[in-house]
Amino acid sequence: MKNKIKGFTLVELMGVLIIIGILMLIIIPVVGNVIKKQKEDQYYQQIANIELATKNMGSDNLAILPSQEGEYMYVTLGQLKSLGYIDNSVINPITNETFSDCVRVRVSKENGIIVYEYDQESESTTSCDIDSGNIIVSDPIDQYIKKDMITSFLITVNDGSSDEFLKRYSINKNKIKLTGETDTIYQVLEGNGIYKVVLRGGKIDGEVKLKLESGAIMKNGTDDLVGKEGIESSKSVIIDNTVPNIKNVYANSCNNYQRTITIEASDDRSGIAGYGITTSQTPPSSFVNSTFSSWTSDLYSPGTYYAWVKDVAGNINSSSVEIPTCDNNGPVIVFGTDGSASWVSEAATTVTVTDDNEISSIEYGWSKTSDSSTSLTGTVTSGELLSSKCGRLSGDDGECYLYVYACDSSGNCTSKTSNAFKVDVTAPTITNVTNASCSNGLTASYSIQDISSGLLERRHIWCDKDLGSEECYSGKLFGGELSTPTTAKKIYNPEWTNCDTKNEPPESGYGYSFWVKAVDAVGNTSYYDTSEDLNPYSGSSCNTCG
């Protein structure tokens, strides 16, 4: 019997698949990183090739290279192609697309050496040259210049090798001109298949373009490569000798005893290029690049500073600014009245707010309770009187709090709560305790009470007809000292012994009314009409004086 070949079990097969999956997770990223690294290496090699082509072009065209320290120019890939220094198709390995003809190399003179540096930012540029047949006119190296500042155009003629160019082409410098009203001067420098037109800004603001007139570049002495219409640069050179306009300079709010400085500026010609801050009237050695109309500096300590603005053409302007000493303290709030001193009929106090800086706002709100979240419902000026009953009505005596929130011009704020005012809006209560009797004189008992501020005055009065009559007479104070707690008090005839006629109480029921009056400590007043209590004894001997 033949031996059977045993295959993988399901569990074993699953294990193999898991191992393969783990290996793939490890291998794929590694391979991806290797490919990415290879593309990056190829990309930088292409950049090196473009820089080398520019160096070769420079070696063949020494006359057009920067001659002054700090001077620079740009050479585009399109110009290098036109002159035959590099292949017509240069691929970007990262994007797998052809480099734009507008990518460029910066050629500058630094420390006496010509430096070639690829401009990576130019990869996003899509428009850079005017191409008319075999002639390319570049954009100006610097579009905005001021007096004595230099910029340049490059003119490239495409005809294979430089040897062929020298044999077949000629240039008429008098046919290369600037268009526009300006005192800017220019010079045409010859190169080996490439020409450099150098412009030096004049003192008059203006706008110029480079114009190649018919006959500027000839082939074999007869063939006009420019054409009757001529060739003009796509972009102008703007001559700008006007300094930027500084609209405003100010110090901002304090931050840890320091402040930032904000500069607001504009420039209608070349535009804002940068800002700077110094402690003297000497311009900064370098500006912070910014094209915005407003810029805020880092933090500075109190003192005098100079704010600087630079435009694209290089004009600068300045303005001084003072940073005051920082005030990190909020305003001081003082209440004119101590709310806890005594009961009041209405909470009232002046609010005085002081600060080293200007007071910017004072807000307030009232509340029945001690609540820091009380809404601020009004504004007030320092020293003004505020008053409120906190919405309390009769029978609802209690606390009343004033909340004040004040800020100064530096942004520092303070909140403060008054002591609780004790508001008494309820008048005393007068209650008949016993009905009137005529035992040993006319007698009636009343209870007079005030549960909040206490009683200040207790009297009996009588009036003809009603309480509103002008002919009211007040009896003597009764019930002992005014500070004595309220108890049942008596109104009885013997208190009026030896009273004269004017003060003699008239008989009840003959057009007169008898009242009990009570006033509490804050002025709330109650009246009680005793007519119903005393009327049964009207006309009796109890109504006599003596």
Q: Is 268 helix (H, G, I), strand (E, B) or coil?
A: coil
Measured from the Cβ of residue 211, the count of other Cβ atoms closer than 10 Å reads 18
DSSP state of 311: E
**What is the distance between the alpha carbons of residues 128 and 81, in angstroms, rounded to a whole number?**
14
Burial class (CB in 10 A: 0-12, 13-18, 19+), 529: middle
DSSP state of 19: H
- Looking at residue 220, its pLDDT comes to 78
- Report pTM: 0.52
What is the β-pairing status of strands 359-367 and 347-354?
unpaired
Q: How confident is the model at residue 544 (pLDDT cuts 50, 70, 90)?
A: very low
**What is the distance between the alpha carbons of residues 508 and 536, in angstroms, rounded to a whole number?**
9
- Reply yes or no on whether the pLDDT at 269 is more than 60: yes
**What is the distance between the alpha carbons of residues 137 and 124, in angstroms, rounded to a whole number?**
20
- Reply yes or no on whether the pLDDT at 507 is more than 50: no
Cα separations in angstroms, 412 against 259, 335, 356? 14, 20, 11
- Residues 6+ away with beta carbon under 8 Å from 366: 347, 374, 377, 388, 390, 391, 400, 401, 402, 403
List the single range of 94-103, 202-211, 219-228, 356-365 with lowest mean pLDDT: 219-228
Residues 379-403: pLDDT tens digits? 999 999 999 999 999 999 999 999 9
Question: Domains of the chain by range and CATH?
Answer: 45-239 (2.60.40.10), 245-323 (2.60.40), 332-423 (2.60.40), 429-543 (2.60.40)
- Reply yes or no on whether the pLDDT at 332 is more than 70: yes
Return the higher-pLDDT residue of 532 and 291. Answer: 291
**What is the distance between the alpha carbons of residues 509 and 531, in angstroms, rounded to a whole number?**
8
- Structure tokens given for 515: 């009242």
What is the mean pLDDT of the segment spanning 354-359?
A: 88
Q: Could you give the percent of the chain with pLDDT greater than 70?
A: 78
Taken as a whole, the chain contains a residue count of 546
For the chain, how big is the Rg over CA atoms in Å? 50
DSSP state of 139: P
- Name the average pLDDT for the chain: 80
Cα separations in angstroms, 487 against 395, 426, 523? 20, 18, 20
What is the mean pLDDT of the segment spanning 188-207?
A: 87
